[in-house]
Amino acid sequence: MRAERHWRSALEVSRLALEAGALVPLSTRLITDPALSPFLLRELTGLPPRHLRSPGPRPNPFLPWDQPLEVGRLGTRHVLLLNKYPVQAAHLLVITPEWQPQSGWLRPLDWQAVAEVAADTGGLWFFNSSATAGASQPHRHLQLLPRHAGQPSCPLAPLLLGQLAGERSTWPWAYRLSRRQDPQGGSDLSGLYARHCRDLELGDSAQDGAPLQAYNLLFDDEWFLTVRRDREHQAGFSINGLGFAGCLLSTAGSDRDWLLRHGPWALLEAVATPGSVIPRLRRLD
């Protein structure tokens, strides 16, 4: 059983940051419709985050980061930070204190920081490699939505586990899905990441200066998923890694009628690289 100290600290820091005005939770409501199952669709009912309201260059929110949002340090190379605009309480970010591009390769030190947090607090991790994959900031950050032991990490987790067990069909887009081998979030992550990147023809960190294509990473204690991306949006919906976890957000510009007519699976298929581009990618571990 994990101690969940990071999670408890994040909730306390959230309380103080909310009182100080540094934390700005998003106001949403859950939209229920059988056509959406098993996805969860939330509608943004308040103003969008400040960084999405104005066009043009945006200041880097992590250089420097808001001190009231800091949960703790992870060695000397990473910081555990609250997401300033969360939907879920204690939405955590692992950031680099110095500039590192979101569009660059994740390095062993990044995975060590993830492993340090994961050994204490479990949940759904995700990473958006660039704006095409739904990243809203260009500074390196991985994200964690904490979950207690025994809780599903996301709406699509049962389907992912079913695929790994051979009980579910594969998806039509380019992706790789593997079992996690170390339930404490250990050293398998770096190897899985490198293998998925090679298999999806995203490149090789030993040979390529940066990944060759946009992608999303999602993982929990049991599985590790990489999805190759072609575009960021469809029908007014901005899709980041959480879309492939089964979590969607509707804003004023979203065409919800399109979503209900075509279904959320069509939304994901529209933004991911078709599996036919690299046929062997539909093979599972």
- pLDDT mean values, one per 10 residues, the chain (285 residues): 96 98 96 96 85 65 96 96 97 97 97 96 98 96 97 97 88 95 66 96 96 98 97 98 98 96 98 83 47
Non-local CB neighbours of 202 within 8 Å, separated by 6+ positions: 196, 211, 212, 213, 215, 226, 228
CATH classification (class only), 5-46+68-282: alpha beta
pTM above 0.75, yes or no: yes
pLDDT, tens only, 15-39: 999 999 999 999 999 999 999 999 9
Residue 59: per-residue pLDDT: 87
Residue 55: per-residue pLDDT: 57
Burial of 188 (0-12, 13-18, 19+ CB in 10 A): middle
Q: 247-250 and 40-44 as β-strands: parallel, antiparallel, unpaired?
A: parallel
Residue 183: per-residue pLDDT: 52
Residue 187: per-residue pLDDT: 56
Locus of tokens 């950050």: 141
Residue 57: per-residue pLDDT: 63
Q: For the chain, which residues make up each domain, given as ranges? A: 5-46+68-282
